[in-house]
Structure 1
Amino acid sequence: MSGQFAGKVAWVTGGSQGIGKGVVKMFAERGAAVVIGYSSNRDIAEDLARSIRDAGGKAVAAGGDIRNADVARTSVELALQEFGRLDILVTAAGVAGRQMLQDITEEDYRQTFDINVWGTIASIQAAAPHLTSPGGKIVTITSRMALNPFPGAALYAGAKNAVNAITESFARELGPRGITVNAVAPGLIKSERMAKAVETRGHETVAITPLARIGMPEDIAGVVAFLASDDSRWVTGRVIRADGGIV
């Protein structure tokens, strides 16, 4: 396939649903070969990969708990075996939750930080040695909640703040190799995982959003595509808010 990312190979963690799925579809439509990461639902990921191949693209699914560093390494190995290179990593795997102070458990803490933070680190750690240099691109998915958390979002906002910090740190570490590392911080996005949140606070969010609607996965995918393209070659270590303009 021809397009903006023709000849490029992208690995998208959490790529079978939500924002990750939107990113996978946009990369594939623009010519990239894609490794679709998923946690447990292999059928959804395989169906997405099959639909991309049926449309003339290149895609494979790579599954497993992203908290396991071996899963990250295996996914990178699959990209190299199937497509011969790795140019782009997007870390879209994550979990969100809402727990008030008195309800937070150690299990909540470990799941939130292990998946959102360690999963991001493990993915970057596995991919970095193999990314195109110069020219490799890493895009992490964080959240505007890290900047302005509401009650009950302490764990999630804390984890995403950590992702912001490691994004900036790894940008400095990998910059000498010509690899950029940036983050996208979405607001509320209409997706499978956020369906309940959209239902419960969607109207409130629309009311304070200048663009007056709920974000869609493709809205975030467009920002990711910019950060994964050569057009962003002078941007690194930055967190780009994509939330419809909420103050």
Structure 2
Amino acid sequence: MSQEFTGKIIAVSGASRGIGHGIAAAFAARGAQTVLAASSIENLETAAHAIAGTGALRPEICAADLRTEEGCKTVFALVSEKFGRCDVLVNSAGATRAGAFLNLPEEAWHDGFALKFFGSVNLCRLFWPMLKASGGHVINIIGGAARTPDPGFLIGGSVNAAMHNFTKGLSGLGKQDGVNVNAILPGLTETGRVAQLFQQRAAASGKSIEAERQAQIEREGLTRLGRPEDVAALAIFLCSESARHIQGTAIAVDGGGTPGLY
């Protein structure tokens, strides 16, 4: 496998599980020193052990509450003190709730924006000088709900739409500063997070979890759910020199599930 990211420092939020972990593992397999950030030290240790077990460099880990500015500063401090540079920042943290609109409490809305939106904003703001110095990359992992409103997923759709706008706006600064800023919009992907979403949808609809899962697959016309490595492959490409002319775009990895024109 190519070692194109040897010597590069890659910081990934939400990297203890799911898509974030898949992306971190893919960069590590290509020679990068990864830094995994998430809230659970136990999950981070398990993730780091799994990546190191493949023969890749053992990741550094940072347990922090990324819903807060202080938590984001903790991640930045670790990267700054240990490496003094950052080449790629991947914002993959965030798990917004599904459910019936009238049953979603206010705190669920605040929590959804705090982790996914404000966590990404704070990390981008903190890491930007390093990324500018290295001519680096920002990849925001958003989600197909940014483009496909769904009454059963209003928190996620609202947060994802805000992330979409933020990414495009930040890419304008990226053009000035030499930082590539792009987004990936995964569709339904085989992670614990998606299993939880099906549970929430089932609770709201009164259907079984398997019925909700199958209905969603049929609704989007999919042959299978996505896998973390599908998203990771695109992240690797977008952070390569081959993709340097791709700036301010959002690419769906959803098996064609997005119904609109873009």
Pairwise TM-score range, normalised by the shorter structure = over 0.9
The runs of 5 or more residues in structure 2 that have no matched partner are: 199-208
The answer to whether structure 1 residue 218 and structure 2 residue 211 are counterparts is no
Partner of 2:111: 111
170-179 vs 99-108, which moves further:
99-108
49-58 vs 72-81, which moves further:
49-58
In the TM superposition, residue 18 of structure 1 has moved relative to its aligned partner by 0.7
50-59 vs 71-80, which moves further:
50-59
Check the 8 A contact 1:134/1:177 in 2, yes or no.
no
Aligned residue pairs, count: 246
Change (3 A) 1:56 1:104: closer
Give per-residue Cα distances to partners, 1:127-149, cap 9 Å, x unaligned: 11111535210000111112112
Q: Give, in whole Å, the separation in 2 of the partners of 1:35 and 1:45.
A: 10
In the TM superposition, residue 104 of structure 1 has moved relative to its aligned partner by 2.7
SS for the counterpart of 1:28 is helix
In the TM superposition, residue 67 of structure 1 has moved relative to its aligned partner by 1.6
SS for the counterpart of 1:31 is coil
Partner of 1:53: 52
Q: Give, in whole Å, the separation in 1 of the partners of 2:2 and 2:226.
A: 28
Give per-residue Cα distances to partners, 1:18-41, cap 9 Å, x unaligned: 1101011111111110000111x2
Q: Give, in whole Å, the separation in 2 of the partners of 1:145 and 1:2.
A: 33
Q: Give, in whole Å, the separation in 2 of the partners of 1:61 and 1:99.
A: 33
Partner of 1:174: 174
Give per-residue Cα distances to partners, 1:66-94, cap 9 Å, x unaligned: 12212222212212333342100000000
SS for the counterpart of 1:111 is helix
Q: Give, in whole Å, the separation in 1 of the partners of 2:220 and 2:236.
A: 23
In the TM superposition, residue 210 of structure 1 has moved relative to its aligned partner by 5.3
13-22 vs 76-85, which moves further:
76-85
Q: Superposition pairs for residues 21-170 of structure 1, below 5 Å?
A: 21-39=21-39, 41-54=40-53, 55-133=55-133, 135-170=135-170
Q: Percent identity over the alignment?
A: 30
The runs of 5 or more residues in structure 1 that have no matched partner are: none
The answer to whether structure 1 residue 233 and structure 2 residue 244 are counterparts is yes
Q: Give, in whole Å, the separation in 2 of the partners of 1:202 and 1:152.
A: 14
- Structure 1 residue identity aligned to 2:17: Q
Q: TM-score, normalising length from structure 2? A: 0.87
Q: Give, in whole Å, the separation in 1 of the partners of 2:95 and 2:196.
A: 14
Q: Give, in whole Å, the separation in 1 of the partners of 2:57 and 2:228.
A: 20
